[in-house]
Amino acid sequence: MNWVRSKFYSLRQGTVRLLFTDDYEFSLPEASWAAKATSVSPHVTNFIVVIGSLVGGVSFGQGSWSWGILCGVFIAMGIILDYLRDRREVQISTEKRNLQQQAIKDLVHTLIDTSQGTCDALSIEEKRRREASLAAARKAILSTIRRSIGPENGVRVNFFEVAEDSAPTLRASTYAHEGRSNHRSTRIFDLHDESLKLALCHNQGRFIVDAKAAGLDSELPYQTFATMPVSSENYLYGMITVDSPEAGDINEFEAKELLNLYASQFALTFMSSPKEAKRLRIGDICNDLDN
């Protein structure tokens, strides 16, 4: 039964790709029938015009005016559909450009807010108040990550800080976590974990779009995740992780460029007294792993 459903779905998708353009499901203020009518594939409209011209020519040649006129109607319909499709594509292009510009504006405003909050916290001279404000700034950055990366619901964000263990270890912060219920992670990153090795050896993050396909633990409460070191050039102060229940919920741009940007902002919150912060020197552990 599942095989039949799969084949039917594949056939349906193939038919849709054949009959309509890629953007026919793009949301515009129009009825669904109008979206489909103005998204007919050029192959279909060209077929209508060519066949209509051939049949119409033969019909007129044989004196069959009714069939000739009917073919003329089909030709006109094909031409009109071509025009409407081109006009809709212009509207879609404009709408996509507007959405992209709005997304950039929202991102810039978000970065301004989080950057301003971090700067305000760093400017406080009294240490206790400064540390409290920096903690609030970290919380605000994590909240921004949750809203900016992945789907609206289901995303979890954690900051893993350096633990006071004999071996390099990261544990989830008791205060710096955001997202779905039970959002504080119980995971511990040690040198057996690829994410920590990437952070300590190369100052790089990790992105897995589908944990099951990558052969990772099937019992994980998420299927896609990204990690990014919170670091300076020489020191690792921790790591931000983002995960979501469904594979593909997080895309590559979000997992790499966007998360790296927020992690860099997060690292600034440790710059008021970097020597006092718990940290690991980047690169040192790589020599031990090689030996």
In tens, the pLDDT along 171-190 reads: 988 876 777 766 678 888 98
Integer Cα distance of 275 and 83 in angstroms: 66
Integer Cα distance of 117 and 112 in angstroms: 8
Structure letter (DSSP) for residue 251: -
Question: Range with the lowest mean pLDDT among 72-76, 118-122, 143-147, 205-209?
Answer: 72-76
pTM: 0.69
Q: What is the pLDDT of residue 287?
A: 63
Q: What is the pLDDT of residue 124?
A: 86
Task: Tell me the average pLDDT of the chain.
Answer: 79
In tens, the pLDDT along 101-125 reads: 887 787 788 778 888 888 888 888 8
In tens, the pLDDT along 241-254 reads: 999 989 899 999 99
Residue 31's φ and ψ, nearest 5 degrees, are -70, 155
Integer Cα distance of 254 and 226 in angstroms: 9
Integer Cα distance of 231 and 223 in angstroms: 26
Question: String of b and e for 257-284 (b: at least 16 CB within 10 Å)?
Answer: ebbbebbebbbbbbebeeeeeebbebee
In tens, the pLDDT along 3-44 reads: 545 555 555 555 556 555 666 566 666 666 566 666 667 666
Which of 104, 110, 105 lies closest to 144 in space, CA to CA? 110
* 227 pLDDT tier (thresholds 50, 70, 90): very high
Question: Range with the lowest mean pLDDT among 2-11, 84-93, 148-157?
Answer: 2-11
pLDDT over 90 percentage in the chain = 21
Please, what are the domains in the chain?
2-91 (no CATH), 141-290 (3.30.450.40)
Predicted confidence (pLDDT) at residue 91 exceeds the cutoff of 90 = no
Q: What is the pLDDT of residue 226?
A: 95
Question: Can you say whether the dihedral through the CA atoms of 216, 219, 221, 223 is positive or negative?
Answer: positive
Question: Range with the lowest mean pLDDT among 49-58, 184-193, 278-287?
Answer: 49-58
* 89 pLDDT tier (thresholds 50, 70, 90): confident
Q: What is the pLDDT of residue 272?
A: 80
* 238 pLDDT tier (thresholds 50, 70, 90): very high
Q: What is the pLDDT of residue 289?
A: 59
Cβ neighbour number for residue 181 with a 10 Å cutoff: 5
Q: What is the pLDDT of residue 102?
A: 80
Q: Give start and end residues of each alpha helix (H) in 38-122.
A: 42-61, 65-122
**Residues 160-175: what's their mean pLDDT?**
86
Q: What is the pLDDT of residue 230?
A: 95
Using DSSP bridges, classify how beta strands 206-208 and 188-189 pair: parallel, antiparallel or unpaired: unpaired
